[in-house]
Amino acid sequence: MKDTLLQRTQGPLLIHVYTKIDEDPDISYLQQDYKAEPPEDRQRYLAQDKARLDAHYRGDWHYVGVCCDISIKTETNWAVPTVIGRSSVWGVESDSGEDYFKELAEEQIAEALADIERMKKALATI
């Protein structure tokens, strides 16, 4: 399932940023033992992690990837534009908040545009 965060154009480029369910997230950061922490902190951290994990297992939140595809529309591929730049970040908690998702979206756009610039340089050598 994909949920669109934003779509916009930039000249001939079509920018699509969306979230996608992370099917294999790393939840190890919520399963730490905190043995190096003072006992009162350790108990608090363990309780916080357990509550967060319980909420995850109940389905209150899940992990997603924030993905960006940048396509280019030309006279010959207008119906199905070619993806020429792509980036993503995974393991994002779905309840992270709108501002954080906007920040990640902009970061992924910048990375995908940088990918396009690298491709242009590589193609110039052909």
CA 73, chain centre distance (Å): 24
64 CB-contact burial (10 Å; exposed 0-12 / middle 13-18 / buried 19+): buried
Mean pLDDT of 95-104: 96
**Average pLDDT of the residues in 71-95:** 89
How does DSSP assign the chain, residue by residue? -EEEEEEEEETTEEEEEEEEE-SS---GGGS---TTS-HHHHHHHHHHHHHHHHHHHHTS--EEEEEEEEEE--TTTTTSPEEEEEEEEEEEETTS-HHHHHHHHHHHHHHHHHHHHHHHHHHHT-
What's the pLDDT band for 88 if we cut at 50, 70, 90? Answer: very high
Domain spans of the chain, in order of start: 2-25+62-124
| Short-list 86, 92, 89, 88, CA closest to 115 | 86
Question: In percent, how much of the chain has pLDDT > 70?
Answer: 99
pLDDT at 1 over 70: no
> Which pLDDT does position 42 carry in this prediction?
95
pLDDT of 78 above 80: no
36-62 residue pLDDT tens: 999 999 999 999 999 999 999 999 999
| pLDDT given at position 75 | 82
Q: Distance between CA 37 and CA 24 in Å, rounded? A: 29
